[in-house]
Amino acid sequence: MDYSFFNNSVLVLFSSFCKNNTLHHSLIKGKIVVCTTETVLDNRREKSTFVRKGGGVGMILIDPIAKDVGFQFVIPATLIGQNEAEQLQAYITTDKNPVAIIYPTTTVLNSKPAPKMAVFSSMGLNVIPPDIIKPDIAAPGVNILAAWSPVATETTAERSVDYNIISGTSMSCPHISAIAAIVKSRHPSWSPSAIKSAIMTTATVQDNNHSLILRDPFGSQTTPIDYGSGHVNPVAALDPGLVYDFNSLDIIDFLCSNGADPAKLKNLTGEPLTCKNPPTPSYDLNYPSIGIASMNGSVSVNRTVTYYGTGPTTYLAYVENPEGVKKSSPLRDLCSRNHMKK
Ligand SMILES: *[C@@H]1O[C@H](CO)[C@@H](O)[C@H](O)[C@H]1NC(C)=O
Ligand SMILES: *[C@@H]1O[C@H](CO)[C@@H](O)[C@H](O)[C@H]1NC(C)=O
Ligand SMILES: *[C@@H]1O[C@H](CO)[C@@H](O)[C@H](O)[C@H]1NC(C)=O
Ligand SMILES: *[C@@H]1O[C@H](CO)[C@@H](O)[C@H](O)[C@H]1NC(C)=O
Ligand SMILES: *[C@@H]1O[C@H](CO)[C@@H](O)[C@H](O)[C@H]1NC(C)=O
């Protein structure tokens, strides 16, 4: 980009974002440079290459949104939040000879509160079938250490590494996949939906400070649209007690209530199938969470649970009403209609 037609204050702004060709060698040579993120989508690694190109030896990036997410930089670098940035600015502007040291990363154990929803974690609502709450589940996905191809690429700051630390759905997905495999190895006869149910119904919505899981970066309040059924608990998933199961015919019913017709079903299954008339309501799919996208008046929702524990047990149903919703009849009456199988 050619910056020559911008005035001086704009240029200063561009160099505070550590953009390409805005950092003067005479000013930053041998120094640790303070940079600011411009937008959440900034290429943070690239800023470190521009600092290095200008002769800088380190970078402090003011990045309140992503301050807890690890990135690979080409020079020693660290991310700081807004409070630290204010302290830093005060120090830089008052001290005649400000100095900085970037220490190696250390491990902090038992930090509180944890877990938290990552700043970049996708949220519902579900835009396709709105009666199915999304997400289903939350799992670790920030700064995950895992094996990595030794081919040096831009992603690893041009270094060849056997392990790397990255963040995203691509990191939480293998956690859930492995937990599904563990549940399957313990319960080989369980269907995919039973395994999903076990994982979802045993998840927790509480953090280690006994409050509802919060969302990064500012600790904002969350709802099931952030975490689904909650943060996964692998050990509890092995013994969920009750399971919400469904099979391929239930999926057909669900597709029928979401606009599938016999021609579409034939395309999908290769078999001639017809939809039930009247169709089973979408919210009656025996899913391990209950979502009703539009409600006017009252609605009855049907779920069937199967007991997979050992020995006789008594379960009591308990409902926490979403705000603005009343339960019209005691849930126990509903359950005594013989829907709870043992
Ligand atoms: C930075 O600017 C230089 C010179 O203008 C150019 O050659 C280079 O491709 C730019 N780098 C990036 C990553 O934009
Ligand atoms: C833990 O919870 C208490 C009570 O809600 C709150 O005052 C405190 O700030 C929380 N601690 C952390 C580290 O979030
Ligand atoms: C069935 O699949 C074919 C090939 O993908 C497609 O062209 C056709 O529109 C589909 N029919 C229906 C009813 O979805
Ligand atoms: C809700 O149902 C009532 C009675 O059936 C109807 O008069 C009203 O228009 C409905 N409201 C909405 C938002 O659909
Ligand atoms: C609820 O589901 C069960 C099992 O699929 C079924 O037998 C029953 O008729 C359903 N009840 C209602 C009210 O839909």
Q: What is the CATH number of the domain that holds 64?
A: 3.40.1390
Residue 31 forms part of a structural domain? yes
Q: Give the closest residue (by CA) to ligand 3 atom 6.
A: 267
Q: Assess whether pLDDT exceeds 80 at residue 257.
A: yes
Given a contact cutoff of 8 angstroms between Cβ atoms, the answer to whether 60 and 100 are in contact is yes
Residue 25 covered by a domain = yes
**Number of neighbouring beta carbons within 10 Å of residue 61:** 24
pLDDT digits (tens, 9 = 90+) for 120-146: 999 999 999 999 999 999 999 999 999
**For the ranges 18-22, 127-131, 293-297, 321-325, which has the lowest average pLDDT?**
321-325
Asked if pLDDT for residue 249 goes beyond 90, the answer is: yes
Q: What does the pLDDT read at residue 209?
A: 96
Q: How far is the CA of 259 from the centre of ligand 4 (A)?
A: 23
Q: Are 56 and 48 in contact (CB under 8 A)?
A: no
Give the type of residue at 274.
T
Residue 305, beta-bridge partner list: 244, 340
How confident is the model over 152-194, as pLDDT tens digits? Answer: 888 788 889 999 999 999 999 999 999 999 999 999 999 999 9
Is residue 89 assigned to a domain?
yes
Confidence (pLDDT) at 145: 93
Kindly state if the Cβ of 26 falls inside 6 Å of ligand 4. Answer: no
Task: Residue 204: name the closest of 238, 236, 230, 228 by CA.
Answer: 230
Instruction: Please tell me the least confidently modeled range out of 1-15, 82-96, 189-203.
Output: 1-15
More confident residue, 327 or 128: 128
Name the pLDDT band for 342 (thresholds 50, 70, 90): very low
Q: What is the pLDDT of residue 154?
A: 81
In a domain, 139, yes or no: no
pLDDT of residue 326: 85
Number of structural domains found in the chain:
1
Q: Tell me, yes or no, whether 238 lies in a domain.
A: no
Residue 12 has pLDDT above 80, yes or no: no
Q: Are 66 and 79 in contact (CB under 8 A)?
A: yes
Residue 12 · residue 35 · CB < 8 Å: no
Instruction: Tell me the pLDDT of the chain averaged across its residues.
Output: 91
Note whether 73 and 45 are within 8 A (CB). Answer: yes
Domain residues for 85? 5-94
At 338, the pLDDT band (50, 70, 90 cuts) reads very low
Centroid of ligand 1 to alpha carbon of 24 (angstroms): 15
What pLDDT shows up at residue 105?
86
pTM, entire model? 0.86
The mean pLDDT of 234-260, rounded to a whole number, is 96
CA of 64 to the centre of ligand 4 (A): 45
Q: Does 333 map to a domain? A: no
| Cα-based distances in Å from 44 to 55, 61, 66, 229, 302 | 17, 8, 10, 33, 49
In a domain, 135, yes or no: no
Q: Which two structure tokens, joined as six digits, stand for 1? A: 């980009």
Beta carbons of 283 and 290 less than 8 angstroms apart? yes
* Interatomic CA distance for residues 180 and 331, integer angstroms: 31
The answer, yes or no, to whether residue 337 has pLDDT greater than 80, is no
Q: Is residue 213 very low, low, confident or very high in pLDDT (cuts 50, 70, 90)? A: very high
In a domain, 288, yes or no: no
How confident is the model at residue 341, as a pLDDT? Answer: 39
- Looking at the chain, the whole-number percentage of residues with pLDDT higher than 70 is 94
Measured in Å, residue 296 CA sits from the centre of ligand 4 at 6
Provide the pLDDT for residue 289: 96
Q: Which ligand has the shortest distance to the CA of 299?
A: 5
- Cα–Cα distance, 249 to 229 (Å, whole number): 24
Q: Are the CB atoms for 14 and 6 separated by under 8 Å?
A: yes
Q: What is the DSSP letter of 75?
A: S
d(CA 297, CA 132): 20
267 lines ligand 4 (CB under 6 A): no
5 pLDDT exceeds 90?
Answer: no
